[in-house]
Structure 1
Amino acid sequence: MPTSPVWGSRLKTRGLVLDLIRAARTISRIELAASSGLTPPTISEVVRDLMADGLIVEAGRGVSTGGKPRRLLQLNPTARYSVGVQLERNACVIVVVDLAGRQVARTSFRGTAQMPPQQALPFLATQVKALLDEAAVDHERVLGVGLVSHGPQDRPAGVLLTPQPTDEWRDYPVAPRLAEILALPVLLDNDAAAAAIGEYWLGTVDPRSTYGCIYMATGIGGGVVVAGEMYRGSSSNSVEIGHISIDVHGDECPCGNRGCLENYAGPAAVVRQALATSGLAEQLMLDPADTDFLTGFARIAAAANTGNTQARHLIEQSARYLGCAAVTITSLFDLDAIVLAGPSFAVAGSIYQTLIQQEVTRRTFARRAHPVRVVPSASGSDAAAIGGAVLVLHSELTVGRAPTEAAHAL
């Protein structure tokens, strides 16, 4: 049933107020009216509704400015929860976050993506339920699940449009099927987009800024956020920087393009380069038959940190390529900052941050107009999983949907 204009307006107003309270951590009703442009009576009505639902609570009084101290409001973190599931090619991470976006439980395991989806999704559902039980989270307070993975995707349909990791996953309705098993709404999204919006909720960046996120796990992805809103493009398959061509005469990529960045700078590419470097594979015990590129890449990154010149050369080369991509998206979107997120930045993140910052500072088109900061993610290796959970909070509480629409998410 379509949402009425009045109900839709109420939801947006409620979402706006809730997001202002979340961002401010503590705020008075008067400050809410000033920040939102809403009238004090409207703010009072919305606050009453939010308190009745248990989403916000009063948190004492502020400092007096001459009159009666104002009562402060804040989120009630335990009022609602959401789940983030990062489905990687070689691994899976599941997190539970509270209403404030804080992680309250986590688990990880390998091998799920190598199963057929008919086997993998019931297993994932079992792991989600076990983690909620372990964290003593009331299932009735769980808003839904953010399932994040690589693209391309049909996000509204909840379908992956790629044969990775195996042909069986292509065109399989992963989100609807998982929602059916869990009896919870499931939102499918790109892992890099999820990591990007998660940084906004967790306060890594200025909420008014335009910033980008470079996400590197097995592959390389990107996202751009403008004043708290994700840039989606026409099909939510935007900012795929891993598939920017850096060599028009390069090898053909499975995506259909040639000379893609991911094939020069991604973890799999760095591992292949290490295997081709005399003596390095033996020294780091790299197995040419191993498809777990994250583990091999972590060994190379650790060796680079400890002074191995061959490993350092490979990591710095990868960082320079990523710096080129960072310059491209910064010039395209006129970014204020770039966040580096994902498990592949966990070990050698400082090398990447330094070299990417150098490239951006030296080469960005608008460098004389304003600086561009390159910063590490607040969520580290789990940025995509936490971002997936945050996307559920954002969709359900900030954007706002009518109750009937929420039910239809199943």
Structure 2
Amino acid sequence: MDKSLDQHIPSSKAKEIFQFIRRTDEISKLDLLQYSGLTVSTLTRVLEELTALGLIAECGFGASTGGRRPILYRVVPDYGYAFGLDISRTSSRLVMLDMAGNKLDTCEWEMTALMTPEYLLAEVTKQIKHWTGKHKLSPDKVLGLGIGAVGPLDRFEGVILQPSFFPSPGWENVSIVNDLERQLNMPVMLDNGANTAIRAEAWANRARDVRHMLYVHVGIGLRSAMMSEGKLIYGAVDMEGSLGQMIIQADGIPPRTGNGNYGCLESYATVYAIEREANALVRMGRRSLLEQIAGASSTISYAHIMEALRRRDPLATEIVTQAATYFGIGLANLLNVLHPEKVVLGGPLMNANDLFFYTATQTAIRKAYHYPQYQVMFSKGSYGDEALAIGAAFMILDKITA
């Protein structure tokens, strides 16, 4: 679209009403009156404005409360479409959503040694152009592309800075927003992947009105985001919460990177940590299915450990349980400080097997300081591995009401 995202709805009151309609599948004019506090004539004018813009439509009648049945309104799904891109260390994913938040398409790429920024961006550009043709989208229907990436990054300048542990070279100082805006001719926005994931989960929990939420992604590294009063919390520096550098054992295991902390959580409760532990224990002579599963491979990988865990191998179970216990201790520290209503745990280690999730959450519950009035809910989330990409697309959709 040729207009900036925040200019689709001219008035602030119309933006507020549209945002409320977005949060419901359908809503009556009476409910909107009660929510907004507007007069009937003002609300009617706002609804007519949104209808004329093509953002909402009447969709039938609600139940009668004694008089006429109230008219119901809903978002028009095909008003526009947003794309969301998740760039992570193990895989990258692209999704396409309509204005109502329905997922229409998805595509995934493994992040191999060949997946340089140039190669991935060329693939993303090709896929988006394929989808716009497949769904017969005119340029005015394309709202933009949101990106959730591994940090550190500068979301204002649209640059991925110096991420660690990418399998391919070239991911330092990538001006990804400028590059993709030039290639796609659409608005592009960038944020940390944990922040986009929590956007998606907040949308999934919109009917429950969860106002304080913590999201943690557990994979090759640890990534976290916090939402309070329905708004993302950003620090003084534009980085994901550095949960991985939380020290849980003084003078513990050396850090994986030169600027990390000894005894930090990342050294105990990540994919890298369980791979390191498995290889060390097998070299020390511990018997396990891991040797058979790894076969001729010189090292035991995360995939080998998950297969051994699936087959109930005692050593694999011990390693994953230990990592999950350490993670639960770190999580308890966060609960004691932040007191979220809901904690969503995502990423490869959470989604691959229930053992890590169950052990971590039970440990956190035991270790957290208990207040009688504080009860936290734990979840693996509503979107699984797609949360980061879906939330990136919501970053575009949300901008319309900003």
- Shared fold by TM > 0.5? yes
Q: Which residue does 1:195 correspond to in 2?
A: 197
1:276 maps onto 2:280 in alignment:
yes
Single out whichever of 71-80 and 231-240 deviates more from structure 2. 231-240
Q: CA shift at 1:88, angstroms?
A: 1.7
Q: Which residue does 2:341 correspond to in 1?
A: 336
Q: CA shift at 1:93, angstroms?
A: 0.9
- Work out the CA distance in 2 between the residues paired with 1:57 and 1:9: 15
Amino acid paired to 1:379: Y
1:184 maps onto 2:186 in alignment:
yes
1:20 maps onto 2:24 in alignment:
no
Q: Which residue does 1:246 correspond to in 2?
A: 248
Q: Which residue does 1:285 correspond to in 2?
A: 294
| Aligned-pair Cα RMSD in Å | 2.6
Q: CA shift at 1:220, angstroms?
A: 1.7
Q: Which residue does 1:44 correspond to in 2?
A: 44
- Work out the CA distance in 1 between the residues paired with 2:382 and 2:51: 29
Single out whichever of 313-322 and 376-385 deviates more from structure 2. 313-322
Q: For residues 204 and 24 of structure 1, do their structure 2 counterparts lie closer, same or farther at Cα, with a shift above 3 Å needed?
A: closer
Q: Which residue does 1:306 correspond to in 2?
A: 311
Q: CA shift at 1:60, angstroms?
A: 0.7
Single out whichever of 47-56 and 363-372 deviates more from structure 2. 363-372
What are the ranges of 5 or more consecutive residues in structure 1 without an aligned counterpart?
1-6, 400-410
- Give a deviation string over 1:147-173, Cα, whole Å, max 9, x none: 111111111111112154256322221
- Work out the CA distance in 2 between the residues paired with 1:255 and 1:155: 25
User: SS of 2:64's equivalent?
Assistant: coil
Amino acid paired to 2:162: T
Q: For residues 31 and 113 of structure 1, do their structure 2 counterparts lie closer, same or farther at Cα, with a shift above 3 Å needed?
A: farther
- Work out the CA distance in 2 between the residues paired with 1:195 and 1:201: 10
User: SS of 1:168's equivalent?
Assistant: coil
Q: Which residue does 2:54 correspond to in 1?
A: 54
- Work out the CA distance in 1 between the residues paired with 2:206 and 2:360: 18
Q: For residues 98 and 319 of structure 1, do their structure 2 counterparts lie closer, same or farther at Cα, with a shift above 3 Å needed?
A: same
Contact 1:88/1:150 (CA < 8 Å) preserved in 2?
Answer: yes
Q: For residues 233 and 107 of structure 1, do their structure 2 counterparts lie closer, same or farther at Cα, with a shift above 3 Å needed?
A: same
Q: CA shift at 1:287, angstroms?
A: 7.7
Greater radius of gyration (CA): 2
Q: Which residue does 2:351 correspond to in 1?
A: 346
Q: Which residue does 1:357 correspond to in 2?
A: 361
Contact 2:85/2:93 (CA < 8 Å) preserved in 1?
Answer: yes
Q: For residues 287 and 50 of structure 1, do their structure 2 counterparts lie closer, same or farther at Cα, with a shift above 3 Å needed?
A: farther
Q: Which residue does 1:126 correspond to in 2?
A: 126
Number of aligned pairs?
387
Amino acid paired to 2:81: Y
User: SS of 1:121's equivalent?
Assistant: helix
The 5 A counterparts of 1:31-180 are: 31-111=31-111, 114-164=114-164, 165=166, 168-180=170-182
TM-score (structure 2 length as normaliser) = 0.88
Q: Which residue does 1:387 correspond to in 2?
A: 391
Q: CA shift at 1:136, angstroms?
A: 4.3
1:267 maps onto 2:271 in alignment:
yes
- Work out the CA distance in 1 between the residues paired with 2:304 and 2:256: 26
Contact 1:340/1:375 (CA < 8 Å) preserved in 2?
Answer: yes
- Work out the CA distance in 1 between the residues paired with 2:389 and 2:113: 15
Contact 1:57/1:73 (CA < 8 Å) preserved in 2?
Answer: yes
Contact 1:159/1:174 (CA < 8 Å) preserved in 2?
Answer: yes
- Give a deviation string over 1:35-55, Cα, whole Å, max 9, x none: 233443332222222211221
Q: CA shift at 1:10, angstroms?
A: 5.2
Contact 2:84/2:390 (CA < 8 Å) preserved in 1?
Answer: yes
Amino acid paired to 1:130: H
Amino acid paired to 1:97: L
Contact 2:151/2:240 (CA < 8 Å) preserved in 1?
Answer: no
TM-score (structure 1 length as normaliser) = 0.86
Q: For residues 300 and 15 of structure 1, do their structure 2 counterparts lie closer, same or farther at Cα, with a shift above 3 Å needed?
A: farther
Q: CA shift at 1:71, angstroms?
A: 0.5
Q: Which residue does 1:256 correspond to in 2?
A: 259
**Paired-residue identity, %:** 27
1:398 maps onto 2:401 in alignment:
yes
